[in-house]
Structures are given as C-alpha cells and as structure tokens.
Homo-oligomer: A and B are copies of this chain.
Amino acid sequence: MIYDGVCSCFIFYAVLLVIKMYIIAIITGQVRLRKKAFANPEDAVRHGGLQFCRLDPTVERCRRAHRNDLENILPFLFVGAVYCLTGPSLAMARLHFLVFVLARTLHSVAYVFAMRAPTRSLAYIIGQVPCVSMAIQVLNAVATYA
C-alpha cells in the first residue's frame, strides 16, 4: 500500500510537515535559551535563576506558530490519509499536498520572522483550501456507505 503512487506521495509530504513541526520546537527551545525565558522554574534555576522564569514575545511567537501547526497539520495527516483511500489521480493528489506543504512552510516562515500582515493569514487560508477540498471529496466518497 505504501508503494502506491498517491499514498507514497502523501506519506512523503506528510512526514516532511512533521519534521517542519519538530524544527519549530527546536527553534522555540533555542530562543528560550538565547533570550533566557523559561516556562518552568526548574529550568530557570538551572540557567541562572528564578528571574528567568518569564514570558518573552519571541518565544510566544514561536509557540503560536507551533500551535497553529497542531491545529492544521495534524488534521491534515488524517484527512490526507483518508483522501488517498478514495482513489484520486496522482496529479490531483500531488497538487493538493504540494499546495498545503508550500502554504504551511510559508506560514511558519511568516510567523517566526513576523512578516508583514496579511502574509501569514494568506498562507493559512491557501493551506486550508486543499484541506477543505479533500474533506469534501472524502465525505462524498463515503456518504452513501455511512
């Protein structure tokens, strides 16, 4: 199954997106260390003292980027997988996945580097288009059997 064209294509892009999420987590950790802004007293104590248990705008920005990924990339992992099972053409499927991957990558870059609005919001909306399209196609495919 994994060596079917559409499934392989989906899995490839989906795992890239998971790695993108891991990278945001690493960036958050690095910013915490550099800005000395920790969420937990035990971390702050280890890095100089309780005064470093504090909020930092850049850390919060990274966390919002990460949370937005949780809200959008994680549902994509499911919707994309069941969309593959509906038997789309490889070209159509690849188009859906590619638009999502590019939009979500732009979203992360726009978020972390605080690019001028509405870059990030546009990337979010463009990324939702293939998701909603796949969701509708899946509902269509299973509705008569559900």
Listed in ascending order, the chain A residues whose CB lies under 8 Å from chain B are 1-5, 8-9, 11-16, 18-19, 21-22, 25, 39-43, 45-46, 61, 64, 66-67, 70-71, 74-75, 77-79, 82, 85-86, 111, 114-118, 120-121, 128, 131-132, 135, 138-139, 141-143, 145-146
Contacts and interface: CB of A to CB of B under 8 A. Distances in A.
A63 B114 CA distance: 21
Contacts of A25: 71
Nearest to A16: B139
A4 B1 CA distance: 15
> Copies of this chain, how many?
3
A11 B42 contact: no
Nearest to A75: B18
15 contacts: A1-B85, A2-B82, A3-B142, A8-B145, A11-B138, A12-B139, A12-B146, A14-B78, A15-B142, A19-B132, A22-B128, A22-B132, A40-B117, A43-B117, A74-B78
Contacts of A128: 22
A114 B106 CA distance: 35
A40 B61 contact: yes
